[in-house]
Chains A and B, each alone.
Chain A
Amino acid sequence: MLENIQLLLDNPVALLNLLLDGIMIGAIFALIAYGMALVWGVMNIINLSQGEFVIFGGFIGYYTSTDWTLAIGPSASPWVSLEWGGISPLWALVIAPLILYGIGRAFYALVIFRLVDRDLFTSILATFGISIFLQQLMNGVFTAEDVIAQHGMGSWVLVDGTTGELVIEQVRVIALVFAVIVGAVLTFYLRQTRGGQAIRAVAQDARAARIMGINADQVYARTYALNAAICGAAGVLISMTLVIHAFSGLIYTVRAFMIVVIAGLGNVAGVIAAGLGLGAAEKVADIVIGTSYQTAFITGLLLVVLLWRSLRLGRQRKVLR
């Protein structure tokens, strides 16, 4: 462990590369966490199917980028006869949110509306159920293969010298920019528009909002669908940077949960900061304590943060909201 730290300190360029990589992937985590914070804050539901929405979006990214006839094979179902090779998965950044918005609406109409105003335990169970359902559905429909979305973008070599190389992946830069834009748009939407005001009003006091003539159910449905859409976009970016599998959603739910716990609800800037921080911390931990503890590190960090917060709150006699 010590020699790993020494190795990083001896190679500042590599350390910088690592941190930048982590920060940029952290931007995607932040995106997923926005959505979770939104649903949590407005509807008081901890959405455990977050990761599955992400993976669903990832598969959409994969299918836009892949030659359809190749992907499905000659035993193709008769209703898919598209003959085009794939297009850039960047298009999926538009397509996936639209599809996921619809899926979010559908789940709201089927399940989620029953959970509003119920206790947290019920909503956790129900959304966990949705996550299992989606996993199996994706496994059945999209197969159990590990897939990546091809994008044809390369890397920039910024520093290339005896001190080491600084290599930046173009996709990760896009992810960072996209996350910041979505964050900005979301903040603007929530603060400045009528729709956003309605969401905030319902979040503050659903009964009062109803009396004022706001259709709270409509707001809930929109919020939940918006979250699914954000996850969809994040999933496309994940499939372009990493690799996805029908069952690999959970880790993104855990990360989002962790970020929201650190940043608190209704704090978009905090979510971004926590997301980027988590991404960078993960990468450094990868080298210092080893990749095998990747998941353990995230959950361990979550534990530490929760402990620390409860200690701090205990001192100030506040209530954790």
Chain B
Amino acid sequence: MRRGLLFALATSVALTAGPAAAKVEGDTVTLGAAISLTGKYSTNGKHTRNGYDLAVKKINAAGGVKVAGKSYKLKIVYYDDESRGARGAQLAERLINQDKVKFLLGPYSSGLTKAIAPITEKYKIPMVEANGASRSLFTKGYKYLFAVLSTSEQYLASSVALLAERAKAMGKKPSDMKIAMAFENDPFSQDIRAGIIDDAKKYGMKIVVDGKLPRDLSDMKGILQKVKLVKPDLLVISGHAKGAALAIRQIAALRLNVPMLAMTHCDSAKVIKKYGKKAEYTLCASQWAPTLTYKDDVFGSAGDFAKTFNKAYGYQPPYQAAESAAAVLVFADAFRRAGSFDTDKVRAALAATQMQTFYGNIKFDKTGKNIAKPMVLYQIQDGKYVVVAPTKWAAAKPRLPIPKWGKR
């Protein structure tokens, strides 16, 4: 008992007196991040980390961030949140209280960002996040949360606009169009669903199937069979990587013919590599594409970022990596403009951000979400992702309607 007490005392002393990484040590600024290095989000967690690391490396190689006349190098302290919200919140406390980190980068996924945001808010620590798109994050009045990515209700909105365009081209009214939907029952996918419903209402389109997919989805044959019966003009699916992989597999197996198919997470599900021809014609929502024409002075163009990333990590950057790198750029820019590492000054600088990065334009509204960057819609054409909407960045015309299975 006594020994136990002594041990506890010793550890608590060691913890408080331990070498806490201060926010600014000499010429280094430390950022903190709890991300999913293990657990179910570990794949995307790694993309996130690679994005952060690459941005830090590039900024440091270019001489660091100039703040009030002095150059500072960036450094990131990582912890593994094991893909669990409770753990993420704990680690955020640890980063702030023990490691004395004053600036946080976001975790991967909306759920984990939701777990961490109240903590950063409580301690008034600015967090720039790149992987929490759920719109419920921006309805809570958080003052210290900034997101570089487009929020989830915008993900597939452009597919509805595209459907309306197609209706007009065929000489039909947009209100004649029918939409079938299958969305996972999680906040992120349900936001996308809400976005689609809003847009469909605007055009007076009819929603003929409104399916919810369970979290532990194992088979989609049932709902796809129903879609086959009601013959919609557009089928929209969002169920993370699992939903995307399963949908492409089973749509082909069932030979389900839809004139338009739009979904999320095509690239994280690696549908092109896995399915080849079967994935052809699918429309995929993306935050970013290497073919976009945005530019900045750290990475150069979007295409340059893709090249640098590929060289460093040996694979094409998914948008999760791109937006993560952008989050670091936003911090660097805010430090520069704030001219100080005072959290309130940096927060004010973040709120006033107005910049272009290789990832897109960034300008935050009052709630902290980025309102300057639209989503893009890819289509898989000849085994490649090609941007087809919005028209401003379209590299090719969408190939629609999707030919019937017998003719593919």
Contacts and interface: CB of A to CB of B under 8 A. Distances in A.
Interface in B195-225: 211-214, 216-223, 225
Contacts of B249: 148, 242-243
Give the most central of B182, B216, B246, B315: most A CB within 10 Å.
B216
A284 B117 CA distance: 42
Nearest to A246: B40
Contact of A144 (B43, B226, B230, B269): B43
B241 A145 contact: yes
B78 interface: no
A53 to B, nearest CB: 16
18 contacts: A7-B230, A73-B314, A74-B314, A75-B314, A143-B43, A144-B38, A144-B42, A148-B245, A148-B274, A165-B228, A242-B249, A246-B40, A247-B40, A251-B218, A283-B221, A290-B212, A291-B214, A291-B220
Interface residues of A, number: 50
Contact of B211 (A154, A155, A245, A292): A292
A139 B37 CA distance: 11
B401 interface: no
Interface string A16-53: 01100110010000000000000000000000000000
A293 B222 CA distance: 12
Interface string B268-290: 01000110000000000000000
A218 B114 CA distance: 52
Contacts of B141: none
B403 to A, nearest CB: 16
Contacts of A291: 182, 211-214, 217, 220, 222-223
Contacts of B355: none
B122 to A, nearest CB: 30
B229 A7 contact: yes
A140 interface: yes
B225 A17 contact: yes
A169 B269 CA distance: 22
B320 to A, nearest CB: 13
Given A146-B241, A243-B245, A294-B214, 7 more contacts: A25-B221, A139-B38, A147-B245, A242-B218, A286-B219, A287-B222, A291-B212
B254 interface: yes
Contacts of B14: none
B300 interface: no
A251 B242 CA distance: 15
B250 to A, nearest CB: 8
Given A155-B254, A251-B216, A294-B214, A286 B241 contact: no
Interface of A: 4, 7, 11, 14, 17-18, 21-22, 25, 70, 73-75, 139-140, 143-148, 150, 154-155, 157, 164-165, 167, 169, 242-243, 245-248, 250-251, 282-287, 290-296
B142 interface: no
Interface residues of B, number: 41
B294 interface: no
Contacts of A283: 219, 221-222, 225
Interface in B54-97: 83
Nearest to B257: A165
B212 A140 contact: no
A169 B225 CA distance: 13
A242 B246 contact: yes
Contacts of B217: 291, 294
A2 B212 CA distance: 18
A18 B218 contact: no
Given A242-B218, A243-B242, A292-B213, A144 B314 contact: no
B307 to A, nearest CB: 16
Contacts of B341: none
Nearest to A249: B216
B168 interface: no
B214 A292 contact: yes
Nearest to A143: B43
Interface string B304-343: 0000000000110000000000000000000000000000
Contacts of A17: 225
Among B213, B245, B314, which residue has the most Cβ atoms of chain A within 10 A?
A: B245
A286 B223 contact: yes
A25 B220 CA distance: 12
Contacts of B245: 146-148, 243
Contacts of A165: 228, 255
Nearest to A170: B253
B18 interface: no
Given A148-B245, A294-B214, A25 B40 contact: no
**Most B-side CB within 10 Å, residue of A22, A243, A295:** A243
Given A70-B273, A245-B242, A291-B213, A167 B253 contact: yes
B185 interface: yes
Contact of B39 (A4, A144, A150): A144
A4 B83 CA distance: 38
A73 B40 CA distance: 19
Contacts of A286: 219, 221-223
Contact of B41 (A74, A144, A155): A144
Contacts of A140: 38
Contacts of B241: 145-146
Contacts of A167: 253-255
A140 B254 CA distance: 34
A106 to B, nearest CB: 24
Contact of A292 (B212, B221, B226): B212
Contacts of B226: 4, 7, 287
B40 A144 contact: yes
A88 B189 CA distance: 34
A153 B253 CA distance: 9
